[in-house]
Structure 1
Amino acid sequence: MKSALNHIRTSLAILMIPAASFAQGSRPISSPNKTTDNMNTRHNKEIISRLYDEVLNKNNFSILEEFVSENYIGPKGEKGVAGFESNIAPVNKAFPDIIWQITELVGEGDKVAVSWISEGTQQNQFLHIPATHKKVNNNGLSIYYFKEGKIVGSRLQPDRLGVLQQLGVLPQDISKLPAIQESLEQVRFIDKFMVPAAAKDEFMKRTNINRQFIKTLPGFIEDEAYTSTDKDGNLHCVTIATWENAGALQKAKEKVQEFYQKDGFDPAEMLKRLHITMDRAVYTKVQH
């Protein structure tokens, strides 16, 4: 369960990564010479076409120095070829048969924008996701910044959500995510009481005090109480307290004991004196 929840949390974190985080180096100031700019733009577009054909599609990162400046800065501060390779190489490794196809190439000044689509089979681990052997289609937009004929920075905006859905990490209907998350680690602390008719008032008064207190504790989500009365007038009561996880429940138990001591309340004494029977257990939700 924890592994599944971690997958979801990490996947959601991936979706929150801003587009600029792929890599961004220093951006040069455009030249005022239009003719020179046009020549440079054509050259830069040719560089990007070769980058996709000769490096990405052939998985040949050994020639990256021909395309990437030593001044390139990756998202984690890596410089040069290492900064560029640190993000794109893991994708090609996870999808070794990946093919990148440029659908549109636009250049202006020191910038080249690329609209692309890719297709590949996940045969190795990708980020936190073990190999699924599923074929994935992706599309996105990349912007490359140039200086002196080499790439000094880049931005990437892929369809992250689509990839995670195709890999089966996130559901196609992302509105179901809250339900998935809440069911993975939550625990329910369930008490079942049989209370003699004469003890009903004192029992309910104490139960209400306890229910109000646990609502103030970290990790508390919600609580419910259900009652019924049998033919002899005895009260049957079920209380259900839902907590974020088992750790939160354990800490709550410790706080409750401190509260009892401070309040001078002995639950075992009350149950014995009022002839109340109790069945207590911790439950987790059954996954479909």
Structure 2
Amino acid sequence: MSDNAQHLGPAADPAFGSAEDAAEVRARIDTSKPHSARFWNYFVGGKDNYEKDRELGDHIREIFPGLVDVARTSRQFLGRAVRHLATEQGIRQFLDIGTGLPTADNTHEVAQAAAPDSRIVYVDNDPLVLAHARALLTSTPEGVTSYIDADLYDPEAILEKAAATLDFSRPVALIILNTLGHVADYDRARDLVARLMAGLPSGSYLVISDSTATSEGMIAASNEYNKSGAIPYYVREVAEIGGFFDGLDLVEPGVEQVTRWRAESADPTPVDAYGAVGRKA
């Protein structure tokens, strides 16, 4: 893919709407430095990335090849968590914050494959994600999929907008994957999660995964990434990932490497990323 953003033209992708919409999106997208959603998209084999994202990805891969495994297995963790909630816990509503760019096995695809009447709201504030939002808006006839342009730092606004699609008198699964690492202050990150969960009813679930400071390679990769000009991402200790679930009932096996959380293989690959699912009593 070239860096001339030709794929952002309305003729190339109807998801961008009118020519005016496409022009506005192009104006908001900065291709002069890497961006986390595009960088991650490159690592999971997507095509929606630019030269700066690929240069950084290749550089990080030389320092720590394991980050590619983190990207791919975190996506697989998402699929297992959503299927568990839909098939075993009867959850039919999902609020996915920090959506990222569409790839395979998006939240709505997994949820509606298991339960066609599922309702999904995606949340992001990145212009490229916004441009591709219509690719996320496919839905089964029985269910609903919607997208809102909102910021993690304003939980109340997220909940207010999501209420147009979700029924907050019924349980909701809040999903925040590979996003909280962008919040530098841990206490603030915990506060944001707590405020979001406070707006959800009893029986709701929290799903979180993030990269962790569990190897020298991951720490070095994080340091290099944060020098790139992209919005920094801070890897945390495993105990800090667990802290997001204080006050919730953890689903077995608790806070675990994303590859080992309800693993479908006998010998899952070790990775520097941990996740968990917790239930609000």
Q: Structure 2-normalised TM-score?
A: 0.23
Tell which structure's C-alpha radius of gyration is larger.
1
Structure with greater proportional strand content: 1
Q: Structure 1-normalised TM-score?
A: 0.22
